[in-house]
A and B are shown apart, each in its own frame.
Chain A
């Protein structure tokens, strides 16, 4: 009588892979270290503290956009916001025209940027939940509307400019030689993580993203939760627009476009499931830093922007395949 024996030995590689897949934030940060080491060996100084601070500075803008995107993706039902680019441009133009180079205009400008972003998010949220328009279509349409309006209003001209103090806050050393915007980012990381865990909205967001019918039966207002997610996303895009203004000084139509795809990739790299209900912001933040480093790394390798785009796209699709596999084996 022969034994019915199955040979099941997991290799070290599989185990390491499983661990990394289980904690994407750590895997992504490990990727950052790999990039820094590789960059340093090609271009000495790549991993210097000053350089890293600069990279973080750039990453902060992406991380703000990705923060909102992550919240929307967490809410499930193919949640995504493709209008964040247009919203950023809108908010940045509004902020630039409110500041108009004057420090006194900073507070109203920030408020205007947040409010404009939040309003766009509200429209997105209402369209998606009340009118039941698929998120992809709703937000893509919204992007078209905003961009069109901006062309009409601005005649395609750049207008407004950052206040000097706002530019300094975003780009110049503020504390410990780091720009103020990094402290803002840190604050936002803490606020989002706490918000996801310790507020009703945060817990409901996960519940809705995981299983919206069950969430509804548990007494959660699924529609409002989704609408709030889009409002938050719009507001974060608005804030990102304001920071972008401080970083570049002036805003052109289309300034925000370049953040749409990387924003989504940062969220996915950070381990948030595109199906919703699973993920956190620390991972997304790590993903944003990784993508920023990757951009610089590819730049020192003299990879042209078009090729960078290809690489970014391939990363996104590659990760999607990975998640697809994970789902199939469930």
Chain B
């Protein structure tokens, strides 16, 4: 059977940087084709070329037997290729329905927009998404939607063009587990209709859940193509990283002996988090689990002073936490790192070195910044995190996402925290960067640092946490010990509801 789309020897360079050296992809009709590789391996570039977002420098793309070279995304769309990007290209000031039909308005005579037809089309599309879009109001402004809802609008927008091929670029990274399940149901339905899909994801379990074929890329080159049913997690990581079997997968920590208590939190509220109490011991990694946005991030932020605290007592290393600002928390040995680099981490336009030293500079509160000394202080962290950079004076945005995240983590670690608060720290970064990050965190925990880790990826909690508190609607609804930790246990616990005395809300099922 002929492939729907076949790309061979596709190349792309930006100035001196080779983004893609030998891209290859063979997409069959009605298959879900996963492209796997670390950040910077060229998979995004390959997809952009197929989608007409950037022109290739060489190679060929054949769509249904016809050689094509799209110059714009519009041309690719017209040929039946739709793309759902991770960073949404929606207009925040327009409504959901306006965004979906932007540029393809069902028209009436005289250039007027046929509103009725639009709503009818919208309802039809929504129907195909099932629960995923159940609460989506066509008239809400996109700017008022949460990130996951925006991603869903992007998906509807792509579907509205009835494409033959859909490229999903990390579309699941902003969705929670229940949404991912609904999304997969949609993907299966599309498959039955014969739609071919290219799927980029950093989540290994998703590849096995939904993929038919996987193409592995490394350093801008096609490495191998495997049927998903005939490969394993270990094999894929090996192909991807290209070195001896990485320890990450079996990095189930040897059981650590927790030390004495370092953090005790009682009845902490703030944002969505309500009355959270927890204890943390030296060297312990406490996981926070549950569906997306159930108060996990807000617990960490309220603890750190990043959002306003509404009551609660925090004792760190035997001392009451004084002050309600991050500056005060930092001085007492807390550090918070968000995975939302763009908003809460990276100081765009500033050199890597400044991004690294602001933490220790704040903690020391010396008025003069001795740059030589500060540089020496962050040097060990740079090495330990295996940061890849050109020069420390380059702006942080010259780094890949994974390395930017390492800088943000390094900024916090350089202050030598007693307790590290990680708020979904590996969102959208590649396997290798994740490994580097957790290798160091595990090492520091062995030295006594304590960690609270919120992760939207179950595997991350299972691989690294000593125990997990599961959240639902702002409350802790379950605690799972290391022995009982499994995807099933996490799933089950995430659907429990808050205790009876708290305001009861229907669980998000």
Contact = CB atoms under 8 A, between A and B. Distances in A.
Interface of A: 1-8, 197-204, 206-207, 210-211, 213-221, 273, 277-278
A277 B415 CA distance: 23
B72 to A, nearest CB: 12
Nearest to B60: A1
A197 B371 contact: yes
A183 B357 CA distance: 33
Most central of B306, B343, B357, B362 by chain A CB within 10 Å: B362
Contact of B60 (A3, A206, A214): A3
B60 A2 contact: yes
A277 B54 CA distance: 30
B344 A213 contact: yes
A203 B349 contact: no
Given A218-B330, A219-B329, A221-B327, 11 more contacts: A1-B60, A4-B49, A5-B57, A200-B369, A204-B361, A215-B347, A216-B326, A218-B347, A219-B331, A273-B349, A278-B349
A6 B56 contact: yes
Given A203-B357, A203-B358, A215-B358, A6 B350 contact: no
A4 B56 contact: yes
A216 B349 contact: no
Most central of A4, A8, A199, A220 by chain B CB within 10 Å: A4
B350 A213 contact: no
A4 B58 contact: yes
Interface in B143-188: none
Contacts of A273: 349
B367 interface: yes
A217 B54 contact: no
A174 B10 CA distance: 68
Contacts of A221: 325, 327
B444 interface: no
26 contacts: A1-B60, A4-B69, A5-B58, A6-B54, A6-B56, A6-B57, A198-B368, A198-B371, A199-B367, A199-B368, A200-B361, A203-B358, A203-B369, A210-B348, A213-B343, A214-B344, A216-B325, A216-B326, A217-B345, A218-B330, A218-B411, A219-B327, A219-B358, A219-B362, A220-B327, A277-B348
B350 A200 contact: no
B365 interface: yes
B411 A207 contact: no
B338 interface: yes
A43 B427 CA distance: 64
B363 A5 contact: no
Most central of A1, A198, A202, A214 by chain B CB within 10 Å: A214
B304 interface: yes
B338 A217 contact: yes
B326 A200 contact: no
Contacts of A202: 369
Contact of B369 (A5, A199, A214, A219): A199
A1 to B, nearest CB: 5
The 7 nearest A-B residue pairs measured at CB: A6-B55, A219-B362, A219-B330, A4-B56, A4-B69, A210-B347, A218-B358
A50 to B, nearest CB: 40
B359 interface: yes
B452 to A, nearest CB: 15
B59 interface: yes
A218 B326 contact: yes
B375 to A, nearest CB: 12
A42 B413 CA distance: 62
Given A5-B55, A216-B306, A207 B60 contact: no
Nearest to A276: B349
Contacts of B54: 6
Contacts of B367: 199-201
A14 to B, nearest CB: 12
Contacts of B363: 219
Given A200-B361, A219-B327, A206 B368 contact: no
A25 to B, nearest CB: 16
B336 A217 contact: yes
Contacts of A8: 55, 57
A278 B397 CA distance: 14
B55 A4 contact: yes
A217 to B, nearest CB: 5
Nearest to B337: A217
Nearest to B351: A206
A277 B329 CA distance: 25
